[in-house]
Copies of this chain bind each other. A is one copy, B any other.
């Protein structure tokens, strides 16, 4: 297949990939925003030096605060999932699936991660969060299975 963006499968993949990368990066941006606005959740000893962004430091700024840690956990969950979607989704579109199926799988995955984000950010129960994660995992298994079948054919 062509690897420029004239191929609708590549367009689909690129849109989903950019969405998931921005989503993951946004977890870092929110973590920084929470640290700055709450003046807490820093992690390195040198972060207690007075600077323009932290003019009046105090020792408790190195304590763990769940208003910051929550975003780090969501970020970590992205690190455990998104890089593998980025590669697995690329290999899947290389198998040349029907466009509607690729859109269902790739955009469905993005939606499952946004659902996971909503459930985690608003502290829904573990079961709600796990349900969204499981949907994403099932889509991944579908894409990986299709890739393996194509590679072994």
Contact = CB atoms under 8 A, between A and B. Distances in A.
Dominant secondary structure of chain A at its interface with chain B: helix
Interface in A30-76: 32, 42-47, 49, 51-54, 66, 70, 73, 75
A10 B73 contact: no
Contact of A14 (B3, B4, B17, B91): B91
A130 B144 CA distance: 29
Contacts of A153: 5
Contacts of A94: 3-5, 10, 14
Contacts of A18: 88, 91, 144, 147-148, 151
25 contacts: A5-B94, A5-B151, A10-B94, A11-B152, A15-B148, A18-B88, A18-B91, A18-B144, A18-B151, A21-B84, A21-B87, A21-B88, A21-B144, A22-B144, A25-B140, A28-B80, A44-B73, A44-B120, A44-B123, A47-B125, A53-B130, A54-B126, A82-B84, A83-B87, A87-B90
